[in-house]
Structure 1
């Protein structure tokens, strides 16, 4: 059974399902530090040792047994759909990646040609973002002109793969309450090294990739773009209890693990 995006500490103290654009770099570094007493030197996504990942072939049997055995503490983090899609735009579309190139090579030229998305110079952020959102809608609803990218496919879709293949979460927390969420996780497991979540560095590996957001979050979403958001991320809004209006706030209610499990197993 496949468990994409699933990580586990080398000591097998905890299991984490990565959800892109939801503080995954910082979570991964916390897991690495908990085992080794130091942070991984570089982007944790590049680590090939010191942490188990489904992408590493030798880790797969251990991960499958741990996830389906349901004995290890298993968690993930989600994010407000409005701030997450904006982060995807500024990082993956408007930004230059660590390799000095645009994300996915010809993606941005295609967006410019087919959707009128401009990201060069002093471009109109609001206009280009709204056109990007039309593209996102097309990838999610119609899988055209490509399948949805992991950075803007719904959080619930990422979360569901672990459940559908036999796992179960002990805890899901919103990144808007990151410190409280990670403190709760660490309080539930035994680690080789303690870590102070309040004072540790943050590992935002996309920071500096693109231009800074120039406007309040609500300015990017008119009636049409908000309608699109509610259409393509409806399950995220409902499952993870986010308000259905442009904001970067935490959920308005607590995330119900039993509800998440029941609805994502259907």
Structure 2
């Protein structure tokens, strides 16, 4: 059974399902530090050793055995759809990636030509984002002009793969309450090296890739874009208890793990 996006410490202390744009770089570094007493020097997504990752062939048998056994503490983190899709826009569309190029080669020129998205110079962030959101809707709803990218496909889709293949989460926490959630994880596991969550750095690997967000989150969403958000991220809003109002970022209620497993396991 495949377990895409699953990372696991080499000490077998914890299993994490990566959800893009949901503090995955910081969580990966915490896992790495918990085993080795130091942070990985570079982007944790580039690490080829020190962590078991499904993308590494040698790690796949270990992960395939560990996840369905449900003996190792398993968790993930999610994020409200409003700031997550905005972050995808500023990082992946408006930004230059760490290789010095635009994300996915010809994606931005295609968005400019077909959707009128502008990302050069002093562009209108609100207008370009709303046009980008129409593209996001097309990829998720109609899989055109391409399949949805992992950075803006729904959190629930990422979370579901582990459940459908026999795994179970002990905790799903919102990134808006990161220290609280990660502290809960660390209380339930035994690690070789302790870590101070308050003192450690945050590893935002997308920071500096693109222009700074110039307006409050709610300014980017008009009635049409709010309607589209409710449509394409309905499961995320409902399962992870996020507000359908763009100026309310943390969940408005506690998540129900049993409900999440029941609805995403189908």
Q: Same fold (TM over 0.5)?
A: yes
Partner of 1:173: 173
Aligned positions of 1:164-243 closer than 5 A: 164-243=164-243
Give structure 2 stretches of 5+ with no counterpart: none
Task: State the 1:111 CA deviation.
Answer: 0.1
Distance 2:47 2:207 in 1: 19
CA deviation map 1:109-140 (0-9, x unaligned): 00000000000000000000000000000000
Question: Which SS does the other structure have where 1:200 is aligned?
Answer: coil
Q: Structure 1 residues 248 and 23 mapped into 2: Cα distance closer, same or farther (>3 Å)?
A: farther
What is the alpha-carbon distance in structure 2 between the residues aligned to residue 135 and residue 57 of structure 1?
34
Q: Which residue in the other structure is 1:52 paired with?
A: 52
RMSD of aligned Cα (Å): 0.5
CA distance in 2, matches of 1:36, 1:173: 25
How many pairs align?
A: 266
State how far apart, in whole Å, the 2-side matches of 1:198 and 1:35 are: 19
Contact map agreement 1:217 1:248 (CA 8 A) in 2? no
Q: Secondary structure at the match of 2:40?
A: coil
Following superposition of structure 1 onto structure 2, how do residues 13-32 of structure 1 map, counting pairs within 5 Å?
13-32=13-32
User: Which runs of 5 or more residues in structure 1 are unaligned?
Assistant: none
- Following superposition, which runs of at least 4 residues in structure 1 exceed 3 angstroms of deviation? none
Residues in 2 aligned to 1:230 and 1:248: alpha-carbon distance in whole angstroms: 14
Deviation track 1:190-212 (CA, whole Å, cap 9, x = no partner) reads 00000011110000000000000
CA distance in 2, matches of 1:106, 1:77: 31
Contact 1:174 1:181 in 2 (8 A): yes
Deviation at residue 146 of structure 1 after TM alignment: 0.2
- TM-superposed deviation, 1:174: 0.1
In the TM superposition, what are the counterparts of 1:34-73 in structure 2 within 5 Å?
34-73=34-73
Following superposition, the deviation at residue 55 of structure 1 comes to 0.1
CA deviation after TM superposition for structure 1 residue 248, in Å: 5.3
Tell me the TM-score normalized by structure 2. 0.99
Deviation at 1:247, TM superposition (A): 2.4
TM-score, normalising length from structure 1?
A: 0.99
Report the secondary structure of 2:74's partner residue: strand
1:16 aligns to what SS in structure 2?
strand
Are 1:250 and 2:261 counterparts?
Answer: no
Alignment partner of 1:129: what SS?
helix
- Please tell me whether the aligned partners of residues 83 and 248 of structure 1 are also in contact (alpha carbons under 8 angstroms): no
Residue pairs, 1:143-162, within 5 angstroms: 143-162=143-162
1:163-196 Cα offsets, whole Å, 9 max, x none, are 0000000000000000000000000000000001
Distance 2:24 2:248 in 1: 18
The corresponding residue for 1:101 is: 101
CA distance in 2, matches of 1:249, 1:155: 15
